[in-house]
Amino acid sequence: MKPTTLSAHVSHFLSHYLAGQRNLSPNTIKAYRDVFVLLLRFCRDERGITIERLKLEQIDVQLVDAFLDHLKKVRHCSIRTLNQRLAVLHAFFRYLQVEEPTLLLPCQRILAIPLRRFVRHEVGYLPKDHLAALLAQPDLRRPDGRRDAVLLSVLYDTGARVQELIDLTAGDVRLESPAQVRVLGKGRKVRVVPLMANTAKLLQQYIDENNLALPENYDHPLFRNKHGNPLTRVGVNYILQKHMQKVQERYPHLKQKVSPHTLRHTKAMHLVQGGVSLDIVRDFLGHVDIKTTELYARANLEMKRAAIEKVSPAPVPNIPSWKENKSLLQWLQRL
C-alpha cells in the first residue's frame, strides 16, 4: 500500500523537523510522539478509521475537538495535560501549513482552537526548617546515603528539573572556585549554575569516592543506582519520598505533596525572598519567559501581605454610601 501524505509528514516532523530544526531533546520528541499515538488510537478505536488509510484532510477541527473530549472523559486528563496535547497538534499544523500550502485554511482553523483556561495553583515550596530536615535525613555512613545527600543537595542548590539532574555527567561539574555545574535544559540550552560551598564539599567527596574525577569517567552519569545504571525519574522520586516520609513523621502538620520539582520551586522562592532580581532568577532556572518567573514574585508578595495582616489588620475605612450623594443619585436616575 502506498504511504499516505499524513504518514510521510508525521515521520518527517518527528524524525527531522523537531530534532534538526527545533533542536528538541529526545525526551521532548518522545512526548510529541505519544500524542500522535493517542490520536491514531482514537481514530482507529473511536472513529473506525484504519490507520493506514487515515488522510490529512480527515483531521479537522471537529476531530481534534472530539479527541480532546475523549482524553478528558475517558482518560480523565487534566486541563494542563489537554493543553499540552493540543500544543503538540498546534506545533504539527504550524509546520504543516508551510509544507502543504493547499491545506493552509484547515491548518489555521486547527491553530485557532484555544487552549483551555485553568486556575493556577499556589507555588508549593518547603519552608527552610523542613528543607533542612530533609537534607539531614540521608545516612552518611552508607554509600547510598552519601549519594542521596549529594543528590538532594544538588537538586535544591541548582534548581534543576529532574531530567536535568539525571542527565548530569561527571564532566559537567567544576569544583574549582567558583564551583559550578553545567546544566542542559529545555530546548538543548546550556546554563551554568553556581554551587554553595557545602554542596561543593559534598560533591568533591562523592566524586573522589566514586572515581568520577578520572578523565575516562567524565561522560559517566553523576548519579547511578546500585546496579551502576543512570537513575530514572522514578528512581529520583523514590529517593525523595523515602526521606520525605521521615520529615513528615517529624512534622505531622506537613500535608503538602512533595515532588522533585518542589525543590526547584523552593530554590526559586528562597532566591526571590533573598532579594535576587527576577532577571537573575529567570536565567538561574532556565526560564524562556520571565512571566513564568513572576509567579514566584507574586507568591512572595502574597506571603508578605498575609504576614502583615496577621501582625496588624488593615483598618476598614468609613466610606459613605453613594446614595448620600444627592447630585450623583439624580444623575443616575436621569441616566
Q: Is 161 designated active site?
A: yes
Q: Which of 90, 130, 161, 267 is catalytic?
A: 161
Tell which residue, 174, 147, 176, 186, has the closest CA to residue 264: 186
CA distance 216 to 101: 51
Q: Which of 201, 220, 261, 270 is catalytic?
A: 261
CA distance 234 to 154: 17
Q: Which of 70, 146, 264, 282 is catalytic?
A: 264
Whether residue 181 contacts residue 193, with contact meaning beta carbons closer than 8 Å, is answered with yes
CA distance 135 to 176: 24
Q: Is 261 designated active site?
A: yes
Q: Is 287 designated active site?
A: yes
Tell which residue, 243, 221, 242, has the closest CA to residue 232: 221
Query: Where do the H-state alpha helices sit in 100-188?
Result: 104-111, 128-135, 143-158, 162-166
Q: Which of 12, 22, 186, 270 is catalytic?
A: 186
What residues have CB less than 8 Å from 84, skipping those under 6 apart?
31, 35
What residues have CB less than 8 Å from 321, skipping those under 6 apart?
none
Q: Which of 70, 130, 282, 287 is catalytic?
A: 287
Integer CA distances (angstroms), 46 to 41, 63, 85, 254, in order: 8, 11, 18, 44
Q: Is 218 designated active site?
A: no
CA distance 285 to 279: 10
Q: Is 33 designated active site?
A: no
Bridge partners, 180 (sequence order): 174, 194
Q: Which residues are catalytic?
A: 161, 186, 261, 264, 287, 296
